[in-house]
Structure 1
Amino acid sequence: MRLTQFTDYALRLLIYAAAYSDRLVTIEETAAVYGISRNHLMKVANLLTRHDFLRAVRGRTGGFMLARAPESIGLGHVVRSTKPDFSIVECFGDTYQCRLTPSCQLKGILGTALAAFLNEMDRHTLADLVLNPAQFGIERPAA
């Protein structure tokens, strides 16, 4: 199982927002801390805001913060919200053409593995990932 870059960035963004829960954080500072694209991070933040993981404040002094407590943000929910599909192999999709599909056992095994992965993610919340700001290796990012 491999998470998309989008999901990876979503988890990083939430971890960062949780570490700085006492203030608004910005896309610019988060992108700088992680060394990732500002534009891509904007898309991630937009989706996280639409799914009520983040609360955004517009304007010159704006930014974002967690929309709710880290304990109430399930990692499984984040993964499902940010990963468009879980088509591990072709037969998981709608347009598969594999001749083995009617008798293949792989889909069932992979389906069980995927369910185990998601069940494990469901056991954890963002609170399990929260870091102290010092763990980012920076003194205090420019706000």
Structure 2
Amino acid sequence: MHLTLRTDYAFRVLIHLARHGHTQNRMTVRHIAERHNVSHNHLVKVVNDLCHHGILVGTRGRNGGVRLARSPKDINVGHVIRLMETEGEVMTGCAPLQGRPCILADACRLRHLTRQATDAFMAVLNGMSVHDLLS
């Protein structure tokens, strides 16, 4: 099972904002990047995607920043993962090697089993909100 760094960063932002009560007040991406010791440039791209999908609200300018677009209880974990995982799959199995499909694909059930495992994994996360991730 593998979630990308992009998804990791998305949840860092969401949890950070939820933890600090930022549904009304804005926080800069630079501040969040520094607090989590992550690349500012990479985090900007993730935040832009979250804003584009209506998870965050961003304001540009001197007093700009980002805030949650809605309550952490209303932000679904599974939905965020599906938005951030650009490959379309959370887990991989039988990925093509150098553009060629695996010669065992017809006889191997690994891809089917990983798809079942992914469905079970996502079913759990679909029932969780960002609020549920707060300790």
Q: TM-score, normalised by structure 1?
A: 0.84
| 1:11-42 CA-partner distances (Å, limit 9, x unpaired) | 01011111232411111110111000110110
- How far apart in 2 are the matches of 1:89 and 1:43? 28
Shift in Å, 1:89: 2.3
* Counterpart residue identity of residue 66, structure 1: L
Aligned to 2:57: 55
For residues 37-56 of structure 1, give each alpha carbon's deviation from its aligned partner in whole angstroms, at most 9, with x where no partner exists: 11011001000001110000
* Structure 2 residue aligned with 1:141: none
Q: Which residue of 2 aligns with 1:36?
A: 38
How far the C-alpha of 1:100 sits from its partner, in A, is 1.1
Local SS of the residue matching 1:9:
helix
Aligned residue in 2 for 1:139: none
* Runs of 4 or more consecutive aligned structure 1 residues displaced over 6 Å after TM superposition: none
State the Cα distance separating 1:91 from its structure 2 match.
Answer: 4.5
CA contact (8 A) 1:56 1:65 kept: yes
1:45–1:54: 8 Å Cα contact kept in structure 2?
yes
Tell whether 2:6 aligns with 1:2: no
Equivalent residue number for residue 82 of structure 2: 80
Contact 2:94–2:105 (Cα < 8 Å) also in 1: no
Could you say which residue in structure 2 is the equivalent of 1:19?
19
Instruction: Calculate the aligned-residue CA RMSD, in Å.
Output: 1.8
Runs (5+) with no aligned partner, structure 1: 132-143
SS in 2 for 1:56: strand
Query: Secondary structure, in 3 states, of the residue corresponding to 2:57?
Result: strand
SS at match of 2:66: strand
Which residue number corresponds to residue 136 of structure 1?
A: none
- Structure 2 matches for 1:112-123, cutoff 5 A? 112-123=116-127
Decide which moves more: 98-107 or 49-58. Answer: 98-107
Matches of 2:100 and 2:49, distance apart in 1: 29
Counterpart of 1:98?
102
CA offsets, 1:91-140, max 9 Å, x none? 58xx5511111121111111111111111111100111236xxxxxxxxx
- Gap regions ≥5 residues in structure 2: none
Distance 1:64 1:46 in 2: 10
Greater displacement, 21-30 / 63-72? 21-30
